[in-house]
Amino acid sequence: MIELRKLASTASGEIVYTLTQKRPQMDRQTIIGKGKLQELVLQAEAYEADLIIFNHEMTPRQSQLVSEAVGIPTIDRVQLILDIFAMSARSKEGKLQVELAQLEYLLPRLAGQGKSLSRLGGGIGTRGPGETKLETDRRHIHDKIVGVKRELKAVAAHRVRNRQKRQTSEIFQIGLIGYTNAGKSTILNLLTQADMYAKNQLFATLDPLTKKWCLAEGFEITVTDTVGFIQELPTQLIDAFHSTLEESQVMDLLLHVVDVSSPDRILQEHTVLQLMKELKMSDKPILTVYNKADQIDPALFIPSLFPHVLISAKNKEGKEKLVEAIKRQLMELMEPYTLLIASDDGQRLSALCRQTLVLEKHFVEEKNSYEVKGFAKKKSRWIKK
């Protein structure tokens, strides 16, 4: 319920009253019992509410019955998340993905909504593809879904080509994953000076962004920020955002960012790991980054995932600790090499520094060459077969 409050706040909603009920099982028609429904009607009237938000996913019939009883629109957690995604989408692909998810979610809910869809609304639950599309018949919505899927396919193909380019160029790729609002964009900004939009709200980032990060040794890495996960992430969103989430599947190393100050930290970790399993990403090397250490007492911190690093992305010391932890992981994942580079082959030496992690470099006079020691990606052209 605390998370639902945060979601509503992100969607620019103001919570006027919260109602909870403990039941052995949910009411099939209205989720809450008859007595609670009467209480909901009275409280909605007393607080002059414009909208009811349920934390459970509702069937079209449940939503309709509660709306009719209370007399104001009723949405569930899924529609609220879709609404936030509609607000956050910036790129063409992001907007298409949100539109697809919303259309697929709203399609079975068209029946009996004639009255509520007869005019354009404002506020939570009305953003996105727009009511005009929903007023048309089902066939038109189906056609629209097919059209959006076709457009997404073309954008996804372009994304695949970009990924393949990065893979063939032997660039080491790091992906940021984690629960929403864990601090992924802040870490991207910390490492790459990306000037990415980072705010203390859920789903501030929707569109994946890849930036180049150059280590002090000269090694060039790409860092990709992705959409945050959330408990019970709607299936419509997983399907619609598949091409975006695929970005994480080709990474060489994943940084799992965890908000260490969250009271639900363990649950959030489990949610991310479960979603990674569903997306067939469990076999990827992961470094857990416990972020927001400035908000807890480090002496009382007990980690649950390994390998890990505890940092605060807000300070310089945090950056240093993170970079060192990443370097340790790089050395575990890469192969060591020792090469002799002729002193007049500056171009090769420069390429070696950019494409591998150089740890030692010294001039050998008798051979008129540089002896270089470091680590390179497995199957790299720098590794002698």
Instruction: Determine the pLDDT at residue 146.
Output: 93
Those residues of the chain that have pLDDT short of 70 are 111-123, 126-137, 168, 196-199, 204-206, 240, 243-244, 385
Instruction: Determine the pLDDT at residue 70.
Output: 96
Confirm whether residue 76 is marked as ligand binding: no
Instruction: Determine the pLDDT at residue 282.
Output: 87
**Rounded Cα–Cα distance for residues 34 and 53 (Å):** 17
Radius of gyration of the chain (CA): 25
Instruction: Determine the pLDDT at residue 385.
Output: 53
Beta strands in the chain (DSSP E): 52-54, 74-76, 172-178, 209-214, 220-225, 253-259, 286-291, 308-310, 335-342, 357-364, 369-376
Instruction: Determine the pLDDT at residue 133.
Output: 47
Confirm whether residue 292 is marked as ligand binding: yes
Instruction: Determine the pLDDT at residue 198.
Output: 66
Instruction: Determine the pLDDT at residue 114.
Output: 46
Confirm whether residue 367 is marked as ligand binding: no
The DSSP line for 209-276 is EEEEEE-TTS-EEEEEE-PPB-TT--HHHHHHTHHHHHHHHT-SEEEEEEETT-TTHHHHHHHHHHHH
Instruction: Determine the pLDDT at residue 120.
Output: 47
Q: Read off the tokens for 266.
A: 């363990």
Closest-CA residue to 77 (of 219, 231, 306, 223): 231
Closest-CA residue to 178 (of 292, 294, 8): 292
Tens digit of each residue's pLDDT (9 = 90 or more) over 209-255: 889 999 999 999 999 988 888 887 777 777 767 766 777 888 999 99
Instruction: Determine the pLDDT at residue 301.
Output: 94
Confirm whether residue 374 is marked as ligand binding: no
pTM, to two decimals: 0.84
Instruction: Determine the pLDDT at residue 129.
Output: 57
Q: Read off the tokens for 244.
A: 């975006």
Confirm whether residue 168 is marked as ligand binding: no
Instruction: Determine the pLDDT at residue 348.
Output: 94
Q: Quick check: 78 and 109 in contact, CB under 8 A? A: no
Q: Read off the tokens for 24.
A: 């052995």
Q: 48 by DSSP, 3-state: which?
A: coil
**Overall size of the chain counted in residues:** 385
Q: Read off the tokens for 3.
A: 């998370």
Confirm whether residue 261 is marked as ligand binding: no
Q: Are strands 253-259 and 220-225 parallel, antiparallel or unpaired?
A: unpaired
Confirm whether residue 369 is marked as ligand binding: no
Instruction: Determine the pLDDT at residue 18.
Output: 96
Confirm whether residue 10 is marked as ligand binding: no
Instruction: Determine the pLDDT at residue 210.
Output: 86
**Rounded Cα–Cα distance for residues 384 and 376 (Å):** 11
Q: Quick check: 173 and 331 in contact, CB under 8 A? A: no
Confirm whether residue 283 is marked as ligand binding: no
Q: Write out the H or E segment, with its range, that includes residue 95.
A: helix 92-106
Confirm whether residue 178 is marked as ligand binding: yes
Instruction: Determine the pLDDT at residue 127.
Output: 64
Instruction: Tell me whether the omega of the peptide bond preceding residue 24 falls within 30 degrees of 0, making it cis.
Output: no
Confirm whether residue 376 is marked as ligand binding: no
Quick one: how far is CA 107 from the chain centroid? 26
Instruction: Determine the pLDDT at residue 184.
Output: 93
Confirm whether residue 105 is marked as ligand binding: no
Q: 182 by DSSP, 3-state: which?
A: coil
